[in-house]
Chain A
Amino acid sequence: MKKKTENSATLVRVIALIKPYLWLLCLSLLFAVITVVTTLYAPVLTGQAIDHVVAAGKVDFKAIVPILIKFLIVVGIMAASNWIMNLCNNRIAFHVVRDLRTKVYAHVQNLPLSYLDSHPNGDTLSRIVTDIDQLSDGLLMGFSQLFTGVVTIAATLGFMLSIHVGIALLVVVLTPVSLFVAAFIAKRTYSLFQAQSKVRAEMTSLVEELVGNQKVVTAFNYEEKAEERFYDVNHRLQKVGIKAIFFSSLTNPCTRFVNGLVYTGVGIFGGFVALTAGPAVLTIGQLSCFLSYANQYTKPFNEISSVITELQNALASAKRVFDLLDEPEQLPDKENAVVLKEAEGTVGLSHVAFSYVPEVPLLKDVNLSVKPGQRVAIVGPTGCGKTTLINLLMRFYDVKKGAITVDGTDIRDMTRESLRENYGMVLQETWLKSGTIAENIAYGRPDATMEEIEEAAKASYAHNFIRRLKDGYQTVIAEDGGNLSQGQKQLLCIARVMLCLPPMLILDEATSSIDTRMEVRIQRAFHKMMKGRTSFIVAHRLSTIREADVILVMKDGDIIEQGTHEELLGKGGFYRNLYYSGAPEEQAAE
């Protein structure tokens, strides 16, 4: 019951999406009616014509020709209106989808990062791409089949009743039989299909595991075992597959058979009526017209199950899309929010507390004051909350308690955009857009000239490798920089920041997977950028740490020690241990 109200709520929202195209919808409905009526009227005319074809020497061409001309006109109207109707439907469906997709995308860009961080990207992606596509298919199907189907049934019924009530009733009574048969088969096959998809899922996950890790399989001589396991699943799939496919393929022949019975019934009964009551009640032409109606009338019934499944899928998809749309957007900037101009670079954290989930408090009471131009190194094992700190500084997340200030102003009183413009950020997970190298470097300043771009690349030691690429700065990089090495990607990200060079920096040193030479370059570029700028650097290199003005030692989500290198060594705490273990960073594989 609850599901029903939910469905209808979704339906109402889908209809709201169509609202801007109301006139198209009306047009579509109008032409749908015209299409159906003309489609049904055509057999009446052929019936009339055939009635004038009685027997040798008894064919009345004078009567036939005008009927046929009328018939062709009707056919013409039908063709035209069918065409217009479908054009309208396409237009509505495609436009609605475009509107919705753009709206959802814009919404996602305004969602708080907490949503994006806590929901798998793949899921959001499939809502924006696949689900909306499904909705589009559903809309098209709904318009073109459901509506015309209903009109067809109603109109056919009307026509049949107008010709002969008895035969019409016969058709009405017999047709749903095919529906019952289809439902009966569907019910039986449902469990078989479920069994099949269960085995199929089992097979998929087995294949994903084994073939997906074929190299490990080879390394451990596991091939024979693997084949045995696959054989077992595969042959279970065969058994259940034959049954599922066979039973599901029963639907068509069976409904066809029932339809055939209806057709026969009409033929016989009609034949008797024509025979006993004579042409006054039912002519042969009318009988042939009836026969074709019997077919027309059953068609929507045969299609109804697939239409309903499609619509249900579309509604389910629409619901998933609406759920995404219903996610609250991040708090808008305050009305009187100030625009942070070129910041001096004083950053203060006072009594900052933060947690992603209330049950697991992370930062408890963090205090820090950074003077302009100071370097702050953040040190600690993986998962200690370094990323959390970055999230708060950039205001990707808001603090739960306390405040963060820049140049003395609470960052919640500034526009997000202006705060972020004052930070240059280079993260370890490099993100590049598919496009040319030049476009990527100019990402923060799309109006930069080619000279400026090259200069930034030179300053970040990226120029050399870019120059050697086939198309230089115009080289198109694949999705996620697929054709570049990790180090090269990192250099590009640095160049991207170098071009804007904001007054404050957030840098994330790479842990591994970059070769030594490349690393030296990245270090040098970092140093160049940090000169005279307030910088926060997640550090793994001892040299970086030693040179910092303030070192924050983080553990389990909190800052446990704070001070300069010498001070901290003197303290003899966690930092000292870390330092002498020679492994300042528990290098993560992922």
Chain B
Amino acid sequence: MLRLARYLKNYKKESIIGPLFKMLEAFFELLVPLVVADMIDNGIAKGDKTYIYRAAFIMVLLGVVGLVCSLIAQFFAAKASVGFGTELRDDLFAHMNRLSYAELDKAGTSTLVTRITSDMNQVQSGVNMILRLFLRSPFIVIGALVAAFLVNAKVAVIFVIAAPVLALIIYGIMVLTIPMYSKAQKALDTISLATREGLNGARVIRAFGRREDETEEFTEDCNRLLKLQKRVGKVSVAMNPLTYVVVNLAIAAIIMQGGKQVDAGVITQGEVIALVNYMTQILNALVALQVLIVSFTKAMASAKRVNEVLDLQPTVLDQESFRLKNVSGEDVPAVVFDQVSFTYPGAKEEALSNLSFTVKKGQTVGIIGGTGSGKSSLVNLLPRFYDVTKGTVRINGVDVKDYPQRELRGRIGMVPQKAVLFSGSIRDNMKWGKDDATDEEINEALEIAQAKEFVDAKEGRLDYKLNQGGKNLSGGQRQRLTIARALVRKPEILILDDSASALDFATDAALRRALAEKTEGMTVFMVSQRTTTIQNADMIIVLEDGEVAGIGTHKELQETCEVYKEICQSQVSAEEVGA
């Protein structure tokens, strides 16, 4: 939390004024019992009406001043904490944008979403609370103690004993119950898990006739939660009675001790009442503080999680100065993998080992292999989403590490495995590929991607609004749009990462034909599970367990590559069946 405090630096004034006025308010609150005591002793006891008027006036005045102070404090606290939250969120978002794939894999994007939303809200209200209230309670406790001493040191001794005892009870119970609560929370998580399983597995559960057993197991989970809840309940409900007893013992002691002092003429009756009031104020402040601590711990935990994200350092960085030699010319190969090995951060085994191949400009490369064979890893190295562990990847003769990332990625059109679209019009989505794309360019890309027809059929065509994730389109339509999006920028290199999987055979074939005809000079990488998709490629790379099992054309591989043959056999192609 402290580390995040620097985000308050633009709100120094507010962060000081807020707590300051809150303390002022507390100070005025502490004065009230003294005024009441004064009124009793000098007004009522002596029968002085003007004294009572004066006391009333002072009390109302104290109330008004207190209210004004409080409002000022609230305003500045709100301004500072929201400002803090806004600046931190801006930074956090920008930071997330700079993370490379390795960190995204590590943190998980859904986690990042909760960090910047709910965790940030928690931290922001935590800051607000600290500014407003954190100083107030201790101030009241101490202030009440001081006031008690000012009235009478002998009676104040009772305060010195009672206050720590109260604090001990309140925080002791808190310390005891927090681990118990988290245990109960875990039991609730188990119930949540069991429910989810029961729902997702409804078919299997019924197929195996296990409904009753599942229900029984669930009941057991519920009973375990019940037991834990009752246990923690027993401890936590002890707090009120215990503090109540202590406070009232103290009050009894104050009356006895105060009585003696009054008898001796040291203090007055009104002052005894004031002392009793102070005791109650201490109790209230301590209880308020306890509620605060609970929410404060939550904010701390959230702050920790936010810090974890800020601690993630992007691993893929631009060079300090670019040695970008403009190597061009027809003979420079489009892509070279030179003894490339790659291990995912934190993984034990290499995802790719010692990969070498050269791709000429305009060639189409097919990449095939089983799951986990490294197909996606390979294509992810081209836009430098990950850095190679060994070897180099060169595009147009230049190491990808020597390009500024923006420039490198600007040359590549990526169609990821998962067809992700964004809410907004089709045009907005297409412009992801090229900021200033004209409708003409967009339509051209849509045509190649075999998407023109269905887009034209939509109401408003390019203005057709997509829901979040493009949920109002079919899987195949989404995939075609993601392909078009990559094509809009007319990339030098197009990467299709198993991106035609939701297309039917005819569309898939038409797409491949269009890609071959209309994108002259574009180098295409095509990852696929299907041999039919890639069999016409200029070069096919067969991967197995991160190693090259064979490189060549369909014909060559069918003769030389065992793995390729095996894959083909399991997917008996049309050609063979026909023959």
Contact = CB atoms under 8 A, between A and B. Distances in A.
The answer to whether A and B come from one shared complex is yes
A264 interface: yes
A586 B508 CA distance: 10
B574 A580 contact: yes
A261 B406 CA distance: 65
A443 B210 contact: yes
B39 A249 contact: no
Contacts of B406: 221
Interface of A: 42, 46, 49-50, 52-59, 61, 64, 68, 71-72, 75-76, 78-80, 82-83, 86-87, 90-91, 94-95, 97-98, 101-102, 105-106, 108-110, 113, 116, 121, 124-125, 128-129, 133, 200, 203-205, 207-223, 225-227, 230-231, 234-235, 237-238, 241-242, 245-246, 249-250, 253-254, 256-257, 260-261, 263-264, 267-268, 271-272, 274-275, 284, 287-288, 291-292, 381, 394, 396, 416-417, 420-421, 423, 425, 427, 431, 433-434, 443-444, 446, 479-480, 485-487, 496, 500, 512-520, 541-543, 579-583, 586-590
A319 B385 CA distance: 49
Contacts of B208: 420-421, 443-444, 496, 500
Contact of A211 (B96, B234, B268): B96
A235 B93 CA distance: 13
B192 A129 contact: yes
A121 B196 contact: yes
Interface residues of B, number: 157
Contacts of A54: 262, 269
B383 interface: yes
Nearest to A238: B86
A96 B284 CA distance: 32
Given A211-B109, A268-B52, A271-B39, A588 B475 contact: yes
B229 interface: yes
Given A113-B206, A215-B101, A260-B66, A205 B468 contact: yes
A518 B346 CA distance: 26
Q: Which 3 A-B pairs have the closest CB atoms?
A: A515-B370, A582-B574, A56-B265
Given A264-B63, A423-B207, A486-B371, A94 B233 contact: yes
A257 B373 contact: no
Contacts of B419: 589
Contacts, number: 416
Contact residues of B: prevailing secondary structure: helix
Given A102-B219, A219-B414, A288-B273, A264 B56 contact: yes
A121 B372 contact: no
Interface stretch (B248-256, B297-305, B326-334, B394-402): B248-256
B524 to A, nearest CB: 16
Given A215-B385, A245-B78, A417-B209, A582 B577 contact: yes
Contacts of A516: 370, 563, 566-567, 570
5 contacts: A129-B188, A211-B93, A420-B209, A443-B208, A583-B504
Nearest to A205: B468
A257 B62 CA distance: 10
Contact residues of A: prevailing secondary structure: helix
Nearest to B83: A238
Contacts of B233: 86-87, 90-91, 94
Contacts of A250: 71, 74
Nearest to A38: B244
Contacts of A423: 207
B149 interface: no
B64 to A, nearest CB: 8
A204 B206 CA distance: 38
A496 to B, nearest CB: 8
A102 B217 CA distance: 10
B294 interface: no
Nearest to A82: B241
Given A225-B435, A416-B206, 7 more contacts: A49-B259, A133-B188, A227-B94, A267-B59, A268-B52, A516-B370, A580-B578
A508 B372 CA distance: 23
Contacts of B117: 203-204, 207
A116 to B, nearest CB: 5
Contacts of A427: 203-204
Given A87-B233, A212-B110, A271-B39, A53 B241 contact: no
A267 B56 contact: yes
Contacts of A205: 423, 468
B202 interface: yes
